[in-house]
Amino acid sequence: MYVLGIESSCDETAAAIVTERKEILSNVIYSQIDEHKIFGGIVPEIAARAHLEKIDLVVAKALADAHLDISEITAVAGACGPGLIGGLIVGSTFAKTIAMAMGIPFVATNHIEAHALSVRLTENVSFPYLLLLVSGGHCQLCVVHGIDLFEVLGKTIDDSVGEAFDKVAKLLGFGYPGGAALEKEAVHGNDGAFFLPSPLCREKSCDFSFSGLKTAVLIASQRCNSPQDKANLCASFQKTAVNILGRKTKRALNICRAKNIKITAVIAAGGVAANGAVRKELHSVSASDGLSFLAPPPQLCTDNGAMIAWLGVEKLLLNQTHDLNFAPRPRWPLGE
């Protein structure tokens, strides 16, 4: 089974070919960072045009890297949401066109669900597992009971943690996207130099809030008078954000125990799951509960075609395919 996955929900045009034996035969990503960084953020219209300009080249390279002809593809999986509607239309239409021309199945995928299940492409993990989904647009904790079976325990009430990292990085002069640069700068800082708030951590829920933390960093930045002060603020922000994620994950594990849900592992997915401090914290939280912590390799944490293709494999094995009139959805909650 050769499944072609196409991802275009935000600012990466990506295509990959994956088999049911968990072989990633190709994984091509065209990043639009250069197109957007001069604006300090993603411009939807520019993103859509860039997808349109590059998608045929990206898919052609994915096929070439896999040493396959289009006639050998078993099915096409396309990201149909959530995300920027212009990009979703480009990618899903391209995927549907291939499916129609070749007479093969089309699988409409939720790219957040693709993140949620991507760990099953690289690790042997069974359901149910606790998922912390952390990315530029999403932050939530849920129990993954199976394909399309998600029990959401908590989510952000305002900003995602990935957005907080990028906005703080931009505020401190690291440009866009700046999450990775902030992580590198934090290594040189004193994480106890600034006291920053941990919103909602006294609440019993698993919900997140990061807008107040961003505001606190803005105020604290006015006291930064040297490069070392800036490094200290990066370290303090990262420590606080990571601590929030750890405390909420611990609370979610307690809820699972109270509900008698026998979790097999703690999983992190999404772009922020590539952060080393986040991984270290979640490993510690998981170990304290006698559980393993797993995450996809960093290159599969950000948006990519391999995760879309793998979700396509998972759904095809359950005989789940979609009509070509499936409409892209800018909003598409997990489990809907």
Q: What is the pLDDT of residues 174-198, one digit of tens each?
A: 877 788 899 999 999 999 999 999 9
Q: What is the mean pLDDT of the chain?
A: 95
Nearest to 9 by CA among 321, 322, 311: 311
Q: Give the mean pLDDT of 322-329.
A: 97
CB burial class (10 A; 0-12, 13-18, 19+) of residue 171? middle
Rg (CA), the chain: 20
Report how far residue 138's alpha carbon sits from residue 210's, in angstroms, rounded to the nearest whole number.
Answer: 12
The tens digit of pLDDT for each residue in 277-314 reads: 999 999 999 999 999 999 999 999 999 999 999 999 99
Question: Residue for token digits 């420590």?
Answer: 239
Q: What is the pLDDT of residues 104-115, one digit of tens each?
A: 999 999 999 999
How many percent of the chain have pLDDT more than 90? Answer: 91
pLDDT at 176: 76
Q: Is the pLDDT of residue 325 over 90?
A: yes
Cα–Cα distance measured from residue 120 to residue 310, given in angstroms and rounded to the nearest whole number: 9
Helix (H) or strand (E) holding 79: strand 75-81
Where do the domains of the chain lie, and which CATH numbers do they carry? Answer: 2-117+300-317 (3.30.420.40), 126-295 (3.30.420.40)
- What band does 316 get if pLDDT is binned at 50, 70 and 90? very high
